[in-house]
Amino acid sequence: MHGSGWSSFIQHDPSRPQPKVDAALLRRVAGWVWPYRRRVALMLALLLIISLVELVPPLLYARLIDSLALNEATGRISLTPGRLNQLALGLLAVPIASSLLGAWQRHQNATVGEGLIFDLRVAAYSHLQRLGLRFFTATRTGEITSRLENDVVGAQNAVVNTVPNVLSSVLTLSTTLAIMLRLEWRLTLLAVAVVPLFVLPAKRIGLVLRQIRRENSELNAAMSSQLLETVNVSGALLIRVFGRQADSIGRYAERAAAVRDIGIRRAVVSRWFFFGLGIATAVGTAVMYWAGGHLVLAGEISPGLIVAFAAYLNRLFGPITSLSNIQVEFVSSLVSFERLFEYLDLVPEIDERPGALDLERVTGDVRFEGVAFAYPSSGAAPPGGTTWSLAGIDFTMRHGQTVALVGPSGAGKTTISYLMARLYDPTSGRVTLDGHDLRDVTLASVARHVGVVTQESYLFHDTIRANLLFAAPDADDAALEAACRAANIHTRILDLEHGYDTVVGERGYRLSGGEKQRLALARVILKNPAVLVLDEATSHLDTENEALVQEALARVMRGRTNLVIAHRLSTVQAADLILVVEGGRLVERGSHASLLAADGRYADLYHTQFTPTALAAAGRTAEGRPTGHL
């Protein structure tokens, strides 16, 4: 331990932003519980019955002890065998009844708790599916996973354990106080006088433990993020080729150490808290026996009564101790609800307008009308104001046409393709499909009629068949085979040991780049969109694979409206219209021949890539690139 010793473990930092626990948060949590109100009412009734049933044993103890005293008139014990049998049966029946009622109550509790967590988990995941790409590009995967796993478990603990314990403790405390006051009010007041020793530490310790819980969640999320980023195939490959294993281990150890230290701090704070509660319990018990003993000696109460009071004292201090701890746990658990609500409160950038059109069939005419787009700035705006990724984009694509976007990296080509698929909305201007603004069309319609093949073809860790059916779940084997034949991948699939049931591995890493691209094309063929967006689909392929993909592309693009993005100008020379993008603007447009004749920016790009020297260099690069295999 460093610094100021034990006090450092319970130091509350008021400068740190504190999450708010207020009536609004509690009402929001209650809103999620409301659908289960009938089960909650039954659970509350069962808890009340259990608390009343458990009041009986101390009374039986008192009756038994007093019955064992000598009767002064007869000189005999007043307890009869029949009375003893009744007391014994009562002591047996009470725990049996309490256990049966407890099992019923636990079933109701679990039904409510697990149902609520199911609702939260599905709601959070569904909401994430509606968020735009901007959220996923700005948020670590580990952070998202932590909130949907660790925080859901934290919220579950609040509902399944903390809240029922609060209700049980309150009922037990209320009923116990009532019967203690009825039996002997003076001893009851002495017992209540000790209560501040339980309550006063709870508020301060609760704030500290709540802060620790939030820090722990954040540290765990950071550790999970590194784990997810480095144990997948891409991360593991990158670490090994750069020889950064030691650095990666060091960073993970540093984050794991922070999680360890916060766990130690939490354990120490909790232990000191329970130490104080134990001392308070001991003080209350000692005072009660001391005062009760004097009352027995004075002949004001019976020995049986003090035995009953001793049992009730445990029932009194137990709930107080539990409530003190529950206050800490409940406040800490609310952090999990807060973190989940932070995601649920994110407003989706891309959402459907009320009454959005569901387009069953489209021709495939696409138009960009005065489109401008700006990504949100991560810092202060530049002196000139907003930084525009696109500005003044105007062009039209007719059914059956192929439009190619060319230009240097970062020019805005991919942003244009994302706007066409409505992964983003224009900052100004509009993108139309068959004359309809995409913002007036349902998201399902856009997804159905606009297909995208990206530079990196993502595949799930599943079979080839499952990855293909992701585009068309109802497709039969004949449709799968036809799509794969059109994409020049059917024969290769049959060469595999398990054919279409071959598992492709994490992110499809058991397949070569060309094989993944052809599977991606087959997937789009199954989807059968009217508009096809190809984002540099051949830029990282060797000559053989590029030829296979290009042949497949020729079939896939036939009869569709196509937007092709490529660094290799050989893929766009036959396009009906070529758009040259530079600095977020369209600087040239026309056919391949007309643009070469204009001797402008396109001609510069063409001559840079297709001089004899450039062609020879491109050939050497393709020959030297490994293809990957199963």
DSSP states of 290-341 as a string?
Answer: HHHHHHHHTTSS-HHHHHHHHHHHHHHHHHHHHHHHHHHHHHHHHHHHHHHH
Q: Report if residue 350 sits inside a domain.
A: no
Question: What is the Cα–Cα distance from 18 to 147, expressed in whole angstroms?
Answer: 18
- Considering the domain architecture, whether residues 170 and 91 belong to the same structural domain is answered as yes
Contact partners, residue 125, CB within 8 Å, separation at least 6: 148
Task: Supply the pLDDT for residue 13.
Answer: 43
Considering its fold, how many domains does the chain have in total? 2
Neighbours of 140 (CB within 10 A): 16
- Print burial letters for 176-202: b (CB count within 10 Å at least 16), e (below 16): bbebbeebbeebbebbeebbebbeebb
Q: Report if residue 371 sits inside a domain.
A: yes
- Considering the domain architecture, whether residues 219 and 124 belong to the same structural domain is answered as yes
* Tokens representing residue 285 in the block: 């018990």
* Domain span including residue 113: 28-344
Q: Report if residue 21 sits inside a domain.
A: no
Q: Report if residue 627 sits inside a domain.
A: no
Task: Supply the pLDDT for residue 15.
Answer: 42
pLDDT tens column, 574-584: 889 999 999 99
* Residue ranges in the chain modelled with pLDDT below 50: 1-20, 378-385, 612, 614-615, 618-630
Contact 370, 585 (CB under 8 A): no
Task: Supply the pLDDT for residue 541.
Answer: 58
Task: Supply the pLDDT for residue 580.
Answer: 93
- Print burial letters for 240-272: b (CB count within 10 Å at least 16), e (below 16): eeeeeeeebeeeeeebeebbeebeebbeebbee
Contact 555, 482 (CB under 8 A): no
Contact 532, 451 (CB under 8 A): yes
Task: Supply the pLDDT for residue 234.
Answer: 65
Question: What is the Cα–Cα distance from 340 to 226, expressed in whole angstroms?
Answer: 21
- Considering the domain architecture, whether residues 288 and 408 belong to the same structural domain is answered as no
- Considering the domain architecture, whether residues 400 and 328 belong to the same structural domain is answered as no
- Considering the domain architecture, whether residues 320 and 371 belong to the same structural domain is answered as no
Strand 577-582 relative to strand 402-406, pairing:
parallel
* Tokens representing residue 66 in the block: 């007093």
| Nearest one of 153, 149, 175 to 162, comparing CA atoms | 153
Q: Report if residue 8 sits inside a domain.
A: no
Contact 142, 222 (CB under 8 A): yes
End-to-end CA distance of the chain: 53
CATH code where residue 406 lies: 3.40.50.300
- Considering the domain architecture, whether residues 315 and 391 belong to the same structural domain is answered as no
- Considering the domain architecture, whether residues 322 and 428 belong to the same structural domain is answered as no
Give the type of residue at 148: L
- Considering the domain architecture, whether residues 303 and 335 belong to the same structural domain is answered as yes
Q: Report if residue 565 sits inside a domain.
A: yes
Neighbours of 480 (CB within 10 A): 21
Q: Report if residue 630 sits inside a domain.
A: no
Q: Report if residue 620 sits inside a domain.
A: no
CATH code where residue 262 lies: 1.20.1560.10
Task: Supply the pLDDT for residue 545.
Answer: 65
DSSP states of 503-568 as a string?
Answer: B--GGGTTS-HHHHHHHHHHHHHHH--SEEEEESTTTT--HHHHHHHHHHHHHHHTTSEEEEE-SS
Which residue matches tokens 């569904």? 126
pTM, entire model: 0.68
Number of residues assigned to the chain: 630
Inter-CA distances, 242 with 235, 239, 397, 435, 581, Å: 11, 5, 45, 51, 35
Task: Supply the pLDDT for residue 146.
Answer: 74
Inter-CA distances, 28 with 22, 33, 117, 512, Å: 10, 9, 14, 50
- Alpha-carbon Rg of the chain, whole angstroms? 36
DSSP states of 346-411 as a string?
Answer: PPPSS-PPTT-B--S-----EEEEEEEE-PPPSSSPPTTS---SEEEEEEEE-TT-EEEEE-STTS
Residue 2's Cα: distance from chain center in Å? 35
Kind plus residue range of the DSSP H or E element containing 592: helix 592-598
- Considering the domain architecture, whether residues 338 and 409 belong to the same structural domain is answered as no
- Considering the domain architecture, whether residues 327 and 234 belong to the same structural domain is answered as yes
**Please, what sign has the CA dihedral across residues 256, 258, 261, 263?**
negative
- Considering the domain architecture, whether residues 333 and 412 belong to the same structural domain is answered as no
Contact 33, 112 (CB under 8 A): yes
* Tokens representing residue 469 in the block: 């059916």
- Considering the domain architecture, whether residues 309 and 427 belong to the same structural domain is answered as no
Strand partners, 563: 403, 533
